[in-house]
Amino acid sequence: MVKQPVEPRPAAGKRAAGAPHLISVVIPAWNEAQTMAELLSRIRAVLEPRARAIEILVVVPSREDPTAAVAEAGGARVLVQGSPGYGGALREGLRAAAGDYVITMDADLSHPPETIADLMARRESAEVVVASRYVAGGSAQMPSGRALLSRILNTVFRRALSVPVRDLSSGYRIYQRKVLREVELQSENFDVLEEILVQIYTLGWNVVEIPFDYRFRIAGKSHASVVGFAPHFLRTLSRLWKMRNTFASADYDSRAYDSIVLPQRYWQRMRVKALTDMAGDRRPRLDVGCGSSRFIQGSPDSIGFDLEMAKLRFLRKTNRLLVRGTCFRLPFADRSFGCVVSSQVIEHLPYDRALFRELNRVLAVGGTLVVGTPDYGRIEWRITEWLYKILLPNAYGDDHVTHYTRERLERELAETGFDVVRYRYVFRGELIAQCAKRRDAPDPEPA
C-alpha cells in the first residue's frame, strides 16, 4: 500500500510574534529507531511555540529500516532516499522540504533538539546559521581520535578554501530556503556538508556560527568515519578548490588582496592603492563593475554597481548602496557623480563605445574618471597573463575579450569627452588612468 504524504502539522499553543509560516526539519536516519520517538517529541516541544506549522522529514535508506515505522508513528513524513550515502539522504530531504526555513540535524540525539531554539533566534542574522562545536562556548563529546581528525579536517577545508567557518562538518544548521535553490550538490557521503556550505558562501550568502554542545549518541553506532571517507573528502576538496578560485566566486577579488600567491597579493594591493589615490575625495562616487574588491569595501558611502548578484551579496557586510545592472545602460541620471571608477572591467566586455559614453553621461562636468585595464601593448602584461593562467587556471586568464593598448584607450577616452590627467602602471602591465571630463564634452545621449 502506498502511503499518502504527511501534511505539515499546525503548531499547537501560543506562538511567538513573527513566527515563520512553515519550518521543515530534515533528518537523515539509518538504524535510529531507538532514538527517533524521543527526538521527534523534543523537536516538537521546541518548535511548536516558534512556528505556525511544522514538517519533519525523516530520510531512510529503505522501508525495511525500523526507523521508518517509529518516525511515522511520531507524525514524521518518511522519505526513501534515491541515491546512496548520507549525501543522498540529505539531498532527498532538502528537495522535499517546503519550509520557509529548513533545519538539518542528526537522528541520534548528539544534536540536542533544544539548540533549535538558538538557531531559530538567529535565523535572520544570516542565510545559514551553523550550530558549531568549535567556536567559543561550543564543545564536542567524542573519542579523542575522532575529535582530532575532525579538527584537522575542518582546519584544512577552512584554510584551503578561505571560508571563515570553524565547523564546516557540522550537520546541525538552519537555512533560509532561498539559498537551497541555487546549490547543486554532488557528494554522496558526509563531505556533502562541506560542499553545501562552501557553495552557499561562494554564492555570496552570509554564514554565521553559534555554539552548541555535541553529545555522545544515546544508542546505536556512528556511521561517520573521517578515515574511511578520506578519499571522498579529498576529491571534494579538490573540486571545491577549483570552484573557489574561479572569477564567479563572490569573494574572488576580496580574497586576492590576501592571496597566498604573493605576486597576486602585491598586485591587488598596489591596484587598490592607485585607485584610492586617483579617485581622491570627489563625491558622490560610483564604482562600475565593482566586484568584491577591497576598494569598494573601503568606501562604504560609494555606490557599488555590478552584473554579478553573488558579488553584490558579498558586499552587503560593508556596503549598503548596491545596484545590479549592465555597464552599457547605467540606471543613473545624467551628471550624477563627481567620481566614477571602473577597474578591471572593460577588457571583460565586448567592445562597444556605448560603454564609454555611459561613463561620460553619468559623470559631472569636471568630474574624475578612473579606468583600469591591462595594456596589451606591453610585453610585461603578456608575460604576466601567461604566468597567471599557469598559477590560477580557473581565474580571469581567458576571460579578456577586448584587448586595449595605452594608445587605443587614450583614443577612446578622447573621442568620448575625456582628458587623461595621468597614468600609472601596476607591474608595468596593468594600466590605470585618471581622467577629467572635458567642459566642452558633448551633451550626454538620452539614457
Domains of the chain: 9-244 (3.90.550.10), 252-437 (3.40.50.150)
| Mean pLDDT along residues 299-322 | 96
Per-residue cell: 350: 565586448
| Mean pLDDT along residues 152-179 | 95
- At 314, is the pLDDT very low, low, confident or very high (cuts 50, 70, 90)? very high
Q: What is the pLDDT, as a whole number, of residue 198?
A: 96
Instruction: Dump pLDDT digits (tens) for 106-165.
Output: 999 999 999 999 999 999 999 999 999 999 999 999 888 889 999 999 999 999 999 999
Q: What is the pLDDT, as a whole number, of residue 2?
A: 40
Phi-psi region of 150 (alpha: psi -120 to 50; beta: other; left: phi over 0): alpha
**CA 429 to CA 382: how far, in whole Å?**
8
- At 248, is the pLDDT very low, low, confident or very high (cuts 50, 70, 90)? confident
Q: Which stretches of 162-290 are DSSP H helices?
A: 177-180, 192-202, 230-244, 252-256, 262-279
Nearest C-alpha neighbor of 364 from the set 329, 336, 401: 336
Q: What is the pLDDT, as a whole number, of residue 437?
A: 95
pTM of this structure: 0.88
Give the 3-state secondary structure of residue 74: coil
Q: What is the pLDDT, as a whole number, of residue 446?
A: 52
Checking if the pLDDT of 8 tops 80, the result is no
Poorest-pLDDT segment among 75-89, 193-207, 227-241, 265-279: 227-241
Nearest C-alpha neighbor of 43 from the set 130, 172, 141: 172
| Mean pLDDT along residues 385-389 | 80
Q: What is the pLDDT, as a whole number, of residue 388?
A: 74
